[in-house]
């Protein structure tokens, strides 16, 4: 990997730190089992590049880390020296050593978007098509109801009463007793998140987020000028101790979590860990914004209970759950919601009125009809997604056998380990081969991280993936591009 010119300018000192025990638990030991200074520097660099350790995170004191790893202090000193020389760490007298990236090591920006889209396979959008028959039935039912609403002004800032009741009933059936006044209907889950950020955070406030995370959520935080405190989600999931330490050390106003088939890793947070995270948030008085958009996309395990159902007494009042019909039904139906205390729903509605007054009555009537049909359609949806996942896995195994992934128990994506930090240049190159794919850096809190990852959804028809994998392999091999200037949007779903 090109290191770029080493930064010599001292940057802002870190305001978070790792203990020796915490960093030791995150490091991948060398094959021989004992760290030399080069192996230790490499392991620390890897934790930074794949997001397990955040940028500007203060590293443990040399003696503390040496004790935790069972190596000499000289080994740690030499490793820190090597990290500083290569640009992966900075130091200041009296302030310790903290993580950094060499100058110029940041993801390549989105490629230019021009030309014909017809022959391009878009692997950046993790959203399936609508269930045609069910959607047609829901549209017919909504059309029959619409005349009754056409005689009114049509503004429902909190959402149609029938839809609020249907969403509340579904939460109750899933194990979280909910009243209609605890539901705010929004224009998709993204608006529900944006309202929570606007209400609870202000410019410069801290927000805790997983690393990696849903890119549109991270962008919303940046747009609100919030300072993001990252906590890692790895192949093994979350570390409750790291989350609790981050909450204590930075005291964020709110935390954004995707515990159900996490986007992009596909991990599912265990029940016990949900209680631990909720308890840590309660003790630090941190609001939890829990994104449950993917909760229904359970492929190999039972669908999880709502996060707030695991929170325990006194914590549920600090939780705003957001969801939508985008993944379980159709992204073109812009209906989402926030579930919170009735008082919080009122406050969110006040903010919402300044944005768009109210959602579409027609879309909400379609959503009411779909809520009655969602449980019968989900098994068919899951079967088809399992077939598509298998088609993608088989095609990748044939054409790019060196890539690795952990099969997710639900959700819509594979989180691919390329084995090398080449994701951004590869994603730029694949456009010329007729495939749009997103590199892992797009999902990272810090620029330049997750460069060894790609997110590839399995939401397209299965027969598409053989061609897609062939094109990815050609791009990886550096073969001449066959399709030039594919015109595709830069946004990700």
- List b or e across 304-340, with b for residues whose CB sees 16 or more CB atoms inside 10 angstroms: bbbbbbbbeeebbebbbbbbbbbbbbbbebbbbbbbb
Q: What is the DSSP string of 238-295?
A: --HHHHHHHHHHH--SEEEE--SS-TTT-----HHHHHHHHHHHHHHT-EEEEE-TTT
pLDDT at 119: 81
pLDDT in tens, 309-331: 988 777 888 999 999 999 999 99
How many Cβ atoms are within 10 Å of 118's Cβ, its own excluded? Answer: 9
**Whole-number Cα distances in Å, 164 to 143, 160, 171, 435:** 19, 6, 11, 40
Q: What is the DSSP string of 42-94?
A: HHHHHHHHTTSS-TTEEPPPHHHHHHHHT--HHHHHHHHHHHHHTTSEEEETT
How many Cβ atoms are within 10 Å of 150's Cβ, its own excluded? Answer: 10
Confidence tier at 9 by pLDDT (50, 70, 90): very low
E strands in 130-262: 183-186, 206-211, 227-232, 254-257
Q: The whole model's pTM is what?
A: 0.82
- 196, 319 in Cβ contact below 8 A? no
pLDDT at 273 over 50: yes
Token pair belonging to 70:
């069972």
Given the DSSP bridges, would you call strands 287-291 and 254-257 parallel, antiparallel or unpaired?
parallel
As a whole-number percent, the residues of the chain with pLDDT over 90 amount to 70
pLDDT at 28: 83
pLDDT at 463 over 80: yes
pLDDT in tens, 43-97: 898 888 877 888 888 999 999 999 999 999 988 888 998 898 888 889 887 778 9
pLDDT at 10 over 60: no
pLDDT at 491: 67
pLDDT in tens, 165-178: 999 999 999 999 99
Domains defined for the chain, CATH in brackets = 16-99 (1.10.10.10), 121-126+377-477 (3.90.1150.10), 132-372 (3.40.640.10)
Mean pLDDT score, 421-433: 91
């Amino acid at each position: 990997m090109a290191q770029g010119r080493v930064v010599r300018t001292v940057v802002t000192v870190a305001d978070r730190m790792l203990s020796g025990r915490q960093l030791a638990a995150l490091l991948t030991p060398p094959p021989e089992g004992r760290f030399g200074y080069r192996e230790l520097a490499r392991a620390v660099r890897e934790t930074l590049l794949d997001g397990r350790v955040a940028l500007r995170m203060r590293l443990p004191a040399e003696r503390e880390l040496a004790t935790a790893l069972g190596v000499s202090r000289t080994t740690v000193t030499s490793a820190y020296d090597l990290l500083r020389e290569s640009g992966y760490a900075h130091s200041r007298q009296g302030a310790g050593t903290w993580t950094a990236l060499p100058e110029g090591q940041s993801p390549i920006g989105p490629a230019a978007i021009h030309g014909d889209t017809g022959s391009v396979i878009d692997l950046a959008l993790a959203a399936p098509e609508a269930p045609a028959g069910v959607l047609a039935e829901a549209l017919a039912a909504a059309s029959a109801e619409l005349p009754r609403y056409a005689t009114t002004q049509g503004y429902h800032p909190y959402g149609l009463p029938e839809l609020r009741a249907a969403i509340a009933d579904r939460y109750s059936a899933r194990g979280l007793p909910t009243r209609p006044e605890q539901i705010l209907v929004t224009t998709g889950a993204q608006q529900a998140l944006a309202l929570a950020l606007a209400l609870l955070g202000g410019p410069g406030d801290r927000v805790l987020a997983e690393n990696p995370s849903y890119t549109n959520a991270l962008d919303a935080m940046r747009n609100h000028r919030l300072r993001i405190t990252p906590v890692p989600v790895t192949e093994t999931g979350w570390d409750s101790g790291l989350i609790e330490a981050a909450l204590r050390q930075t005291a964020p106003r709110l935390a954004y979590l995707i515990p159900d088939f996490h986007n992009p890793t596909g991990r599912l947070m265990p029940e016990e860990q949900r209680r631990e995270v909720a308890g840590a948030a309660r003790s630090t008085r941190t609001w939890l914004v829990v994104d449950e958009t993917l909760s229904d996309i359970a492929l190999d395990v039972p669908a999880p209970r709502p996060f707030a159902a695991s929170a325990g007494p006194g914590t549920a009042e600090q939780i705003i759950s957001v969801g939508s019909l985008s993944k379980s039904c159709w992204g073109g139906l812009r209906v989402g919601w926030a579930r919170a205390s009735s008082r919080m729903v009122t406050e969110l509605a006040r903010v919402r009125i300044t944005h768009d007054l109210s959602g579409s009555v027609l879309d909400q009537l379609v959503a009411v009809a779909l809520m009655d049909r969602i449980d019968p359609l989900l098994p068919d949806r899951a079967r088809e997604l399992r077939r598509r996942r298998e088609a993608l896995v088989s095609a990748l195994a044939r054409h790019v056998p060196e890539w690795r992934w952990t099969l997710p128990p639900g959700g819509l994506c594979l989180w691919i380990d390329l084995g090398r930090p080449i994701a951004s240049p590869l994603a730029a190159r694949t456009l010329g081969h007729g495939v749009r794919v997103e590199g892992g850096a797009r999902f990272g809190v810090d620029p330049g991280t997750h460069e060894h990852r790609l997110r590839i959804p399995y939401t397209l028809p299965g027969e598409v993936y053989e061609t897609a994998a062939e094109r990815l392999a050609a791009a990886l091999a550096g073969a001449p591009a066959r399709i030039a200037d594919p015109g595709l949007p830069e946004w990700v779903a």
